[in-house]
A and B are shown apart, each in its own frame.
Chain A
Amino acid sequence: MIFSRVVGNLVATQKNKNLKGAKLMLLQPLDTKGANAGEQFIAVDAVGAGIGDIVLAIAEGGSARQAYKAQNPLTPIDTVIAGIVDVIDTEDGVIRLFD
């Protein structure tokens, strides 16, 4: 799982039918200090995250599909937002997002 910030969203009318109703978000990976690290990617939202939230993203196919709880096991999802982060506490410091 990787820390990311939700920085945007994506609209697609023409898409795989199993993705109907899926919320597609643009994520920016972060390091443990909260700084941007690496290229942005697209993920399906399973928890109701909004723009600006720091989230936990799963970037591994099988687990991502499980987190999304898709009705069809053949839903083509390989990255999913599986949690909204409250606190990150590492030796680099504490990032507290909700007080």
Chain B
Amino acid sequence: MYLARVIGTVVATQKDESLRGVKLLVIQPLDSFQNNMGAPVVAADTIGAGYGELVFCAKSKEGAMPLRDPNAPVDAGIIGIVDSIHNEIKGR
């Protein structure tokens, strides 16, 4: 699992049948000091995350598991909204 920030939304009318009704958000993956890590990706949301929120995500097949169709073609899924992080290693 990795941290990410929600940076936008995606609207797609023509998409795979199993993605109907699924909320798609653009997320920027972060390292644990909340610095950007790699390029933004599109993730499926089932917990009601919003723009600007710090979330944590599951990769690949696990990302689709909270969806109505767990076999939906999704490779990142938002699975929780972060309240707080405690890190013994100080930030960079």
Within the complex, what minimum Cβ distance (angstroms) separates A29 from chain B? 12
Render B61-87 as a binary contact track against A, CB cut-off 8 A, 1 for contact.
111011000100000010111111111
> What chain B residues lie within 8 Å of A12 (beta carbons)?
56, 80-83
Interface: B1 (CB within 8 A)? yes
Complex contact A10–B84 (CB within 8 A): yes
**Number of B residues whose C-beta is below 8 Å from A?**
31
Which of the residues B46, B59, B83, B89 comes within 8 Å of A13, measured between beta carbons? Answer: B83
Question: Is there contact, CB below 8 Å, between B62 and A9?
Answer: no
Q: Mark B19-62, 1 if CB is under 8 A from A, else 0.
A: 00000000000011000010000000011100000001011111
- What CA separation (Å) do A18 and B77 show in the bound complex? 14
Docked complex Cα distance between A40 and B86 (Å): 13
Answer whether A16 and B56 are a contact pair too, CB < 8 Å, given A39-B31, A76-B77: no
Q: Would you call A14 an interface residue if the criterion is a C-beta within 8 Å of the partner chain's C-beta atoms?
A: yes
B1, B48, B81, B82: the one contacting A78 at CB < 8 Å is: B1
> Is there contact, CB below 8 Å, between B85 and A16?
no
B58, B84, B87, B89: which contacts A11 (Cβ < 8 A)?
B84
* A16 pairs with B80, CB closer than 8 A: yes
A16 x B46 contact (CB < 8 A): yes
